[in-house]
Amino acid sequence: AFSRAMRQGVDREGRHLYPAFPYDHFTKVTDADIKALYAFVMTRDPVRAETPPNDLSFPFNIRSLIGAWKLLYFERGVFRPDATQSAEWNRGAYLVQGLGHCGACHTPRNALGAEEKMNDQGGGEVEGWHGPALNAASVTPVPWTAEQLYQYLRTGLDDLHAIAAGPMEPVVRNLAAVPEPHVRAIATYVATLAGQPTVSRQQKAEDALLQARRDGAAYPRIDRADQQTAAGDRAFQNGAAVYAGACAECHDQGRHASSGGALHLALGTAMTIPTSANLIRITLEGIMPPDSEPGRWMPGFAGALTDEQVKDLVTYIRARFGREPPWPDVADELRKARKSKP
């Protein structure tokens, strides 16, 4: 029954499971690993609990329709190694595509909730956050190396990239307990997804690094025409004032892994992704270590900033640090973030 659920998405009574349980990834797991997982699960203390009733709206509450969904989108089959790649690369691919189910967050989905396989790891949405693209569409200011990815996956922190936040934070916390060779294999595989940086990509990375090295007081020049087109003078100036009062003291210093400084925002992916969702949620919620554990933290400003101040701050940060056109979704994402707060 356990194997059938993992491999086929069918429960003990023969009913289709909703793909919120990622059997479309677990189907790739080997027999040996499924048996190992089962053996571990059977050592857990049993609990008595009643499954809550299905509260999905019509027609998604009709479980039998999942059978049709599977015919369209579910591809069964164990992972097949690529003979042209190294053993470490294949191990990483197996873990990312199967047990890690990274595509569940980092791959876009169609109207019926199926991952767009032709755009694997091309950026997705989860729990109100954007899972950045890991493939050639990646917009991280500085391209990842395998070693940087390894450090990030084990610690949630790398000198040239943003700290793990949102749904990625518990992933990193769990990976901290995974044996090093497995995490290195994941990093090796993911590092190849984006391919070699293009000349344009390398230039953008150099520009971001240069901006991060500048004194915080030496603001980069932004043409007035660009402000008018991308941000608007009022929002830009108001956002600059909010940034100076709430953010600059930490973020303009930049950081190293051994220091207490925050990341210079020219290096942050939240400023360059195609949605303002992550930046808004980090601004409102902050970043806190779980369960009072030691670690990096950032205060949340949900109670300190008005909606207008948050929108202006996001407008300013996108223009100054993201060096990209303004997001069109700021008001909508702010409304959703405020609504989701407990």
User: Tokens 């008001």 label which residue?
Assistant: 331
What pLDDT sits at residue 247?
A: 92
Spatial contact of 121 and 134, defined as CB atoms under 8 Å apart: yes
Q: pLDDT by residue for the chain (342 residues), tens digit each?
A: 999 999 999 999 999 999 999 999 999 999 999 999 999 999 999 999 998 888 888 888 899 999 999 999 999 999 999 999 999 999 999 999 999 999 999 999 999 999 999 999 999 999 999 999 999 999 999 999 999 999 999 999 898 999 999 999 999 999 999 999 999 999 999 999 999 999 999 999 999 998 888 744 444 444 433 444 444 588 888 999 999 999 988 888 665 544 556 889 999 999 999 999 999 999 999 998 777 677 778 899 999 999 999 999 999 999 999 989 999 999 999 999 999 865
135, two tokens: 């493939």
List of residues 6+ apart from 131 with CB closer than 8 A: 105, 106, 107, 123, 124, 125, 167, 168
151, two tokens: 């450090």
Separation of alpha carbons 161 and 173, rounded Å: 17
List of residues 6+ apart from 259 with CB closer than 8 A: none
Mind spelling out the 3-state secondary structure of the chain? Answer: CHHHHHHHCECCCCCECCCCCCHHHHCCCCHHHHHHHHHHHCCCCCCCCCCCCCCCCCCCCCCCHHHHHHHHHCCCCCCCCCCCCCHHHHHHHHHHHCCCCCHHHHCCECCCCCECHHHCCCCEEECCEEECCCCCCCCCCCCCCHHHHHHHHHHCCECCECCCCCCHHHHHHHHCCCCHHHHHHHHHHHHHHCCCCCHHHHHHHHHHHHHHHCCCCCCCCCCHHHHHHHHCHHHHHHHHHHHHHHCHHHHCCCCCCCCCCCCCHHHCHHHCCCCCHHHHHHHHHCECCHHHCCCCCECCCCCCCCHHHHHHHHHHHHHHHHCCCCCCCHHHHHHHHHHHCC
Read off φ and ψ for residue 115, nearest 5 degrees.
Answer: -65, 140
What pLDDT sits at residue 232?
A: 56
Q: What's the pTM?
A: 0.90
Q: CB-based burial of residue 250 (10 Å sphere; 0-12 exposed, 13-18 middle, 19+ buried)?
A: middle
On the question of a cis peptide bond just before residue 59, with omega within 30 degrees of 0, the verdict is yes
Spatial contact of 238 and 307, defined as CB atoms under 8 Å apart: no
Spatial contact of 128 and 281, defined as CB atoms under 8 Å apart: yes
Q: Residue 233: which of 319, 310, 306 has the closest Cα? A: 319
What pLDDT sits at residue 54?
A: 82
Cα separations in angstroms, 82 against 29, 88, 90, 92, 157: 15, 11, 7, 11, 31
Q: Residue 319: which of 196, 227, 254 has the closest Cα? A: 227
